[in-house]
Chain A
Amino acid sequence: MNDLPVAAAAAGPHLHWALAAVAGWLLVGLLGVFALRRMVFVARVLFPAGGALALVLFGVALSAAFGSPETATLPLGLPTLPFHVRLDSLSAFFLMVIAGAAAGVSAFAAGYFRQGEGTPPGLLCLEYHVFLASMAMVVLSDDAYAFMVMWETMALSSFFLVIANHRIPEIRRAGYLYLLIAHVGAIGILLCFGVLQANTGDYTFANMRAQTHTVLWASIAFLLALFGFGAKAGLLPLHVWLPEAHPAAPSPVSALMSGVMLKTAVYGVLRVTFDLMHVQVWWWGVLLLALGLATALFGVVFSAAQVDMKRLLAYSSIENIGLLFAAIGLAVLFSAFGMKPMAALALTAALYHVASHAFFKSLLFVGTGAVLHATGERSLGKLGGLIRYMPWVTWLTLVGALACAGLPPLGGFVSEWLLLQSFLFTPGLPSSFLNMLIPVVAAMIALVAALSGYVMVKFFGVVFLGQPREDALARAHDASGWERVGMLWLAAGCILLGLFPTQFIALIDPVTHLLVDAGLANSGSFGGWLLVPVAMERASYGPVIFLLGVAAGSALAWLLVRRLYHGRSRRSPAWDCGFPWQTARMQDTAEGFGQPIRQIFEPFFRMERHLPTPFDAQPLYRVTIGDHFWHWIYLPVAAVVERASRLIGLLQRGRIAVYLAYSFVTLVAVLLVVMR
């Protein structure tokens, strides 16, 4: 799709500034090594500095969004293989998302890492900033070599961040699983680049763009990319690491992994499918749609059944990744049939969701971090009533929860709205079979969106509302200053993304022009107050007026009630149908809140129930919820691997003589081959 003359693109100021900011992150990380155990210095100076650099990067990316592509060659890497970097509108958009979310998370981290998390704070600072820098470099890379190096750096640095608390066995196990699947996925990406360079031996993206592929090879490359990036994104059935690894990490890192790192996988899919390849085949879109929807439904259903707040959010990330892939699938489908404006609409929905998910999921994760710090508790069954002790965290998390639930007028709703709008276009597809499939898909998306509302009410209600389920919760303290700054930034992102869609779509417009050669250029009407993706008669949405309308209704009611009647109120114990012996144990638990979902979607879960009998002296009810995919795929594969390694283990006799015999036989075999 993109035939922009690469040679004409020159290194420009934006790219230099972006690289400087990335180098700044590395420098901050290195300073952390020199201040290995000086907690105050690391927290009060280095993390805010990292946040400031993120703001710089954010600004640079913002101004680069409308510019022409800029390229540069870095004298790094191997002598004959320098790193190529390129900043085009797609990179700029993702850079904006990475830097925007990272700015808030870094500010939060400055207040969060008050004591080490089992790793010296300086080391944590190094890993954290290398992680940030590698994510930024992934979207800037312009050749497969640089991309893979940055991709692996990202995986490794985040692995070390995940196992920050490495003394806990579960965390080590989660980290190992993450590392394993990350590397299996990396093989897929590497092979995909191998296919795309089409035997030219030149691994720059510019060369890949210049190649034309047959449908067969293009499909192979697409499937490899889907596998590789899907493993990073947590697409079904490669999702199993995500609910283990994301909650295991310290909360700011969970926020970055869920909010930002997953988006690099989305970036990879977009880069390969729309930029490096020039054709899209319609069944790619169907595959993406099917996988995306399965992932979304799976994620949201499992998320409703969780009792650990960070796991709940991790599953919710799986759901959102599913929605993103479904939207990309729709864009591929439209693009394959040459319906460019509609492909642009679907892609805009996907990219909008990338941005809003980055902000609201980071916000929710850092919110759980604040709760975790204040209470030391991750289990939903032991929280509750925190609105009275942590008002800042509560109200800011509420913004994130409403955005995550896809409610107007916040960020999550705009992308959902655009996505549903693009589904309503589909009756124009040339295949009647596909046309029939589309309403079902739209229904699924609506179901997933509604279920995510259920999940968010459960999450927010159980953690922050009601009576505290433990006495210790009354001693919970609110977020510290830096934590508030970080959360405020992220919440502001959610609100602004919700209120000013036309302005943000103007930023996405160059990206869709780059990828599918069309865009929603004039998406605004009435001076940008109304979002009009196609035409005024078709659909429009005006979030600011929407908010003002609700606010005016509320305010009018408030004023009139006070003017015409009175504002008297008094306090008394809760009524509860006259039942006086209320305790916190009588509230719905997280398990109880998830029970209807468990019952309706029972086939989704692998449930093991232990029911008490009437004669038990100490009745015990236990239900464990497992994942079918473990038993369908992972455990069989693990069994095969173990059996194979046991066979290989037969070679190891533990005696020198045998090993010498092996060497001798090998030598003879090699000589035979060479001499022949």
Chain B
Amino acid sequence: MSVVGVLSQLLAIAVALLLAPLLTGWVNQCRAWLQNKSAPPLLQPYRMLHKLFNKDSVLATNASPLFRASPYIVFGCMVLAGAIVPTLSTDLPLSPVADAIALVGLFALARVFISLAAMDVGTAFGTLGARREMFVGFLAEPALLMVFFSASLISKSTSLTTIVETLAHRELAIYPSLAFAGVAFTMISLAENARIPVDNPATHLELTMIHEALILEYSGRHLALMEWAASLKLFAYSCIGLALFIPWGVAQAGAPLAMLLALPALVLKLAVGGATLAFLETISAKMRIFRVPEFLATAFMLAVIGLLVSILLGV
């Protein structure tokens, strides 16, 4: 563990924490443009967080300590996720702590806590949201794992940094399995980040909401942390997608100067990725909740097919 490694680790965390709301703002802006609306400013999410942090937190009378602790736990999980996903460099001392499987476990941990917190107050919407969140999760989680497995078969490793180093810094090869995995991953990311067609982040309509129902009882700093954690999750997912499918530009271990180039590359890739996300959201319609299993089962199947392809072709 070198000084450079520690610095690059701290830089990765800082970049995740600071860029995450910007990515959310960018996606919202692109979506508004595509839908012919006047867009909120790019920095709106930061103002929102500032506003929420300044407000008093209003807790339901029967809210338990679990309810108050959950935003911090969820936020902590997402910080760790941001720390182990290679964004700028693969020189991450924290990366050996959690490989791809543990990363999926980390997201699951956050999901369980956010769902339990939603059930804590005992309102109709909270429990409904918890049920739907777990329902989306139990299909998305194995599919995500299969996507990671497709990539790990190529690099013979489940460590994210090794995967990225293999994909980014060996001679270019076409991996058909990654094509399946890529489609599957896009579908999973939409579901996991509460995006259309699975969930609509811009509505409080009881028939459709999942994520908003989960955090309905939160306010003030707790809500701010939950929102920040949600944008960190979107950031982490985007970076996983970039790391697996467009890994070029990420600095290798032992090349700290390449990080100077990696930051603009990351911002550029995220800008394109965010615009694509907004585009995908705009062209698709919200699904009925019971069509979601079909959507996710398709993603799951695609990921398994990707895995099969890589075993059959031996690459």
B176 CB within 8 Å of chain A: no
Interface bracket on A: 35 or more
Query: Quick one: given A417-B102, A465-B120, A586-B124, are A450 and B59 in contact (CB under 8 Å)?
Result: no
Q: Are B53 and A457 in contact (CB under 8 A)?
A: no
Query: Quick one: given A407-B105, A538-B156, A553-B77, are A439 and B60 in contact (CB under 8 Å)?
Result: no
- Chain B nearest CB from A425 CB (Å) reads 10
Q: Are B72 and A557 in contact (CB under 8 A)?
A: yes
B residues near A456, Cβ cutoff 8 Å: 112
Instruction: Give the total of B residues in contact with A, Cβ under 8 Å.
Output: 82
A446 CB within 8 Å of chain B: yes
Query: Quick one: given A443-B146, A554-B73, A570-B58, are A588 and B308 in contact (CB under 8 Å)?
Result: no
Give CA–CA (A658, B283) in the complex, Å: 87
Q: Are A569 and B59 in contact (CB under 8 A)?
A: yes
Of B31-39, B133-141, B192-200, B241-249, the stretch lying at the interface with chain A is B133-141
Query: Quick one: given A435-B311, A447-B142, A546-B80, are A554 and B75 in contact (CB under 8 Å)?
Result: yes
Q: Are A542 and B97 in contact (CB under 8 A)?
A: yes
Q: Are B125 and A592 in contact (CB under 8 A)?
A: no
**In-complex Cβ contact of B142 among A443, A465, A582, A600 (8 A):** A443
**Residues of chain A in range 541-584 having any CB-CB distance to chain B below 8 Å:** 541-542, 545-546, 549-558, 561, 564-577, 579, 582, 584
Which chain A residue lies CB-closest to B300? A443
Query: Quick one: given A385-B122, A456-B112, A576-B124, are A552 and B76 in contact (CB under 8 Å)?
Result: yes
A residues near B73, Cβ cutoff 8 Å: 550, 554
B96 CB within 8 Å of chain A: yes
A residues near B142, Cβ cutoff 8 Å: 443, 446-447, 449-450
Query: Quick one: given A461-B119, A557-B225, are A574 and B62 in contact (CB under 8 Å)?
Result: yes
**Residues of chain A in range 402-432 having any CB-CB distance to chain B below 8 Å:** 402, 405-408, 413, 416-417, 420-421, 424, 427, 432
B residues near A416, Cβ cutoff 8 Å: 101
A665 CB within 8 Å of chain B: no
Q: Are B56 and A569 in contact (CB under 8 A)?
A: yes
- Chain A nearest CB from B200 CB (Å) reads 15
**In-complex Cβ contact of B311 among A406, A436, A447, A600 (8 A):** A436
Query: Quick one: given A387-B66, A574-B62, are A407 and B109 in contact (CB under 8 Å)?
Result: yes
B174 CB within 8 Å of chain A: no
B residues near A582, Cβ cutoff 8 Å: 122-124
B257 CB within 8 Å of chain A: no
A76 CB within 8 Å of chain B: no
A667 CB within 8 Å of chain B: no
B residues near A388, Cβ cutoff 8 Å: 62, 64
B residues near A454, Cβ cutoff 8 Å: 134-135, 137-138
Interface string of A441-479 (1 = CB under 8 A from B): 011001101110110111011100111000000000000
B207 CB within 8 Å of chain A: no
Complex A-B, nearest 6 residue pairs according to Cβ-Cβ distance, in ascending order: A466-B122, A553-B76, A553-B79, A554-B76, A446-B142, A588-B127
* B positions within 8 Å CB-CB of A: 53-54, 56-64, 66, 72-73, 75-80, 83, 94, 96-99, 101-102, 105-106, 108-109, 111-112, 115-116, 119-128, 130-131, 134-135, 137-139, 141-142, 145-146, 149, 152-153, 156-159, 162, 204, 206, 216-217, 219-221, 225, 290, 293, 300, 303-304, 307-308, 311-312
* A positions within 8 Å CB-CB of B: 384-385, 387-388, 398, 402, 405-408, 413, 416-417, 420-421, 424, 427, 432, 435-436, 438-440, 442-443, 446-447, 449-451, 453-454, 456-458, 460-462, 465-467, 530, 536-542, 545-546, 549-558, 561, 564-577, 579, 582, 584, 586-588, 592-593, 596, 599-600
